[in-house]
Amino acid sequence: MAKKVVPESERRRRRPTKTGVVLSEQLIVTTALRMLREHGAAGLTARRIGAALGADPSSLYRYFRGMDELTLAVGDELIGRALRGWSASADWRADLRELGLRIHAAYLAHPQAAVLTASRVSGRAHEIASDEIILGVLHRAGFPTPAAVRVYHCFIDQTLAFAALDAATAALPEAARRADEAVWQATYARLPADTHPCIAPAAPHLVAEMNVSAYPAALDMLIESAAARLAAV
């Protein structure tokens, strides 16, 4: 059963916690990000976050109805960080590219949090702001509303899908990540042309390409496709 959230005006503690801090929603979210970075998904518990803040775990429920709502707030925080300092230019292609790279980078900076949140829809302030910004970029470019929504859908899903994929790789234990990266050199590069006529000549390129994110190239392809569609309107 969902817990009743205390109204914002009544949330602030009058006294600091044992660690000398005054609880706030932002502080809890920042601490949750740190716990995820240090402990992975196991770090996102009321008990662990409460201990880090020097507060009773139940005090978190004055700010969030449950851990799932906190998870959504963590994802929204990543989007908010991506938007900080961004401003529109006269070039919609450059704006869309920068927004995509910013969102992708913000998630990759916190891979454990990205794995948990990239597929979620929070309806929180930063998420709504990002949607308004992206649709605004497309509107100013001249896309009719239905086309703008279609491009937005492809853009944001592609960005978050790559963020989740690349974050999952980054969150692997180092030994596992290195082993995966080595497969392209140790296995694919040694396949003979007589049995693998397509892979063999492509092997050097696969070795060079497959251990880095394809997101920037995929983003450019999406923007080029969107520009071609806009020209045809």
- pLDDT reported for residue 33: 96
- Return the CATH number of the domain spanning residue range 87-232: 1.10.357.10
Residue 189 burial by CB count (10 A; 0-12/13-18/19+): exposed, middle or buried? middle
| Domain definitions of the chain by residue range | 8-65, 87-232
- pLDDT reported for residue 233: 80
**Model pLDDT for residues 159-215, shown as the tens digit of each residue:** 999 999 999 999 999 999 999 999 999 999 999 999 999 999 999 999 999 999 999
Cα(141)–Cα(93) distance, rounded to whole angstroms? 9
Cα(53)–Cα(40) distance, rounded to whole angstroms? 18
- pLDDT reported for residue 22: 86
- Which residues does the chain have with pLDDT short of 70? 1-20
Sorted by sequence, the CB contacts under 8 Å of residue 31 that are 6+ apart come out as 49, 52, 53
- 163: tokens are 């963020």
Spell out the alpha helix ranges (H) of the chain: 25-39, 46-53, 67-83, 92-108, 111-117, 125-141, 145-170, 174-186, 199-209, 215-232
- pLDDT reported for residue 179: 95
- pLDDT reported for residue 1: 46
In CATH, the architecture of 8-65 is: Orthogonal Bundle (1.10)
Give the type of residue at 194.
D
